[in-house]
Structure 1
């Protein structure tokens, strides 16, 4: 139950959600976690994510995760009556979010110009692969396409291996996160200026903005970076190392931490070795330092190595399997997964926004809507 003395920061904000699949639904799910009323508008066939597994009793896990807390209506925007009723909802809305391919919203009668004409204060967020204008704007874009074009695949993977995608749809999620951030900024700006705005969020731009390290490697005349595997391209030792029964993350960022590592390894004299006298020197001699660290780890299990490193004040961790992470997320103190009562499945674990705030209500996620569930309440004449 929501704590009576706590508040929902977006209570009273109404959002028309014309999005589907991942980037847009992730954006509006984050807004819903903060109390915004989200009206998800689907075509008669439904959001494509309803048909992407894994499934339980016909329910998509991905759709359920990304459409929590939302009301759902079905509208055929090519039907003039449906469009007219949707525009009536838009008149009372604060925000509209869409992730059609550029030009489609305009053709359907729900582009920014049409919406602004009936609701001048609207905050209108357009999420696309490559932006609303430009030579790439008309290209279809899924996450993997954007990962390939962003450069992130070229810096991910082993040095002698092929470019590798990030293990999640990071371009979609980055765009959804930036869109929610921009919408919040626009709501604050509207309080002061009294004006709405059209937000143009490109997946490619958002993913590029999450890569300051390769930009830093290039910006002062350096070469464009390549793949370095599981180590940091600029700091050493800062990566994944083999122990007896698994892999250990060791993250050393300065000379003080390196000295502590050398002492923990029983080799304090390494501090005086000119090959390892600075972060830059250690990075140049990364293979030699890796051999020394893994020789030490060859006598340790992951647990004992991490205990020794933690005692020395060195950031370190095991490389956990996803099953262990999920168990911690559900049972740990931070409760990154919360129980939701699903209309068909009973109790299921559910993601929610991760920020903890002293005066905000703790989100208790509600089930994603059945296709057209709220038509009678919100849409039917």
Structure 2
């Protein structure tokens, strides 16, 4: 792989993750410059994401794989900037190889169910015995202690359901609303990266490694708790408010004649601008709308005024009018338009996804690293590897194994 002069350059990560939550964490760390060695199970076709339809083929996108070179879009996004080696961790001979790799690594990231790494003999205690400075980051549904609800299966929708987040969207009385974006799978890895980087600083200063334990349920529920929903309900502000946020009125999404838009005008000056924009300057000094508390009390009426004004007007006129009066406003984009935003593309916050053989498929974009450094590099341009593509290189470079020894391990089913 090409040299990445990111702030984590020189750090070696053993990546034991699969699916989305764990691989997203190691993707971010790889984008920051770490050398990420993805260890995959050869008996199951590697990371489960390799078998997620659709696939990029020589003929473009397809729902089915027809050639060994075809690669799932999921792996193309999550596997960037990583090396792949195979290691059958259920084989008795694999543990020594893994621990030898851990001796030279700085970080391990895993997202097995609680208890699995201990059964395999590669848990934090086992690793600490060979490398006391190593940071061992675990991402699981409910935490390393294994306490769970129900059967303990930690899928994103299960975590959304348990966290309460499904009851924060929609209108009062609506069924639970599942977020289309897998927020449970994406929030936990970001906290895992924060914890890992904090542990790196500690280890660099003290020589002491540690176990970083992050739960999907705790991560998402902690965000739900950022808003005092119980307290709001106790004073009559409903938990679920649909398109509007009455306690910040005028605030929410509205419909124009040809699309949806959002305005956020909670301050006196913004609210005054909103009233003037909808040709109701006569209400700007009205006691019903002159203060924040008054607007909250009369939120339904205020939002109705805006909705009625906007409904018959084209989007361009609506946006221009609110902007001219200093009101924060934006169109509600679909995802295709959002990922093609010139600014986010320019800042590499969204980037084209490239197949290692077939190149870029028009319209295929993925997450970049949404952090820009004034000195350090940040890069996610290296295509995802084929399963086991770097096995021989890793074993030769890190463990000094020669080709005959590697061949024997492969013949024995260790690799």
User: TM-score band (shorter)?
Assistant: over 0.9
Q: In the alignment, is residue 259 of structure 1 matched against residue 272 of structure 2? A: yes
Matched, 1:172 2:185: yes
Quickly say closer, same or farther: Cα 1:161–1:302, change in 2 above 3 A: same
- Report if the CA contact (8 A) 1:330-1:338 is conserved: no
Aligned length: 379
Give secondary structure in 1 for the equivalent of 2:166: coil
**Cα distance in 2, alignment partners of residues 277 and 248 from structure 1:** 24
Pairing 1:290–2:288 present? no
Tell me, what secondary structure is at the counterpart of 1:35? coil
Q: Match of 2:33, SS?
A: coil
User: Are 1:178 and 1:201, in contact at CA under 8 Å, matched by a contact in 2?
Assistant: yes
Task: Kindly state the Cα deviation for residue 192 of structure 1 after the two structures are TM-superposed.
Answer: 1.9
Cα distance in 1 between the residues matched to 2:137 and 2:318? 48
TM-score by structure 1 length? 0.93
- Alpha-carbon contact 1:175-1:206 (below 8 Å) kept: yes
SS in structure 2 at match of 1:174: helix
Q: 1:233 to 1:289 in 2, by over 3 A?
A: closer
Deviation of the 1:84 alpha carbon: 1.3
Q: 2:20 aligns with which of 12, 19, 22?
A: 22
Larger CA deviation: 257-266 vs 270-279: 270-279
Deviations 1:46-67 (A, max 9, x none): 1111111222223111111111
Give the drift of 1:168.
Answer: 0.8
Q: Which runs of 5+ in 2 are unaligned?
A: 58-69, 396-405, 410-415
CA contact (8 A) 2:85 2:394 kept: yes
User: What is the match of residue 54 of structure 2?
Assistant: 54
Residues 190 and 233 from structure 1, CA distance in 2 versus in 1: closer, same or farther, beyond 3 angstroms?
A: farther
Would you say 1:231 and 2:244 are equivalent positions?
A: yes
- Superposition RMSD on alpha carbons, in Å? 2.4
Larger CA deviation: 162-171 vs 145-154 = 162-171
Judging changes above 3 Å, is the alpha-carbon distance between structure 1 residues 351 and 171 closer, same or farther for their aligned structure 2 residues?
A: same
Look up the match of 1:307: 320
Instruction: State the Cα deviation string for residues 312-371 of structure 1 (Å, max 9, x = none).
Output: 111100111112112226984334333454223212544321111111224142111111
Q: Secondary structure at the match of 1:210?
A: helix
Give the structure 2 partner of residue 69 of structure 1. 81
- In 1, are the aligned partners of 2:77 and 2:353 still within 8 Å (CA)? no
Unaligned 5+ runs, structure 1: none
Tell me the secondary structure at the aligned position of residue 21 of structure 1.
coil
1:84 pairs with 2:96: yes
**1:1-381 superposed matches below 5 A:** 7-44=5-42, 45=44, 46-57=46-57, 58-133=70-145, 135-136=147-148, 139-215=152-228, 218=231, 226-232=239-245, 234-328=247-341, 332-339=345-352, 341-348=354-361, 349-379=365-395, 380=406
Give the TM-score normalised by the residue count of structure 2. 0.85
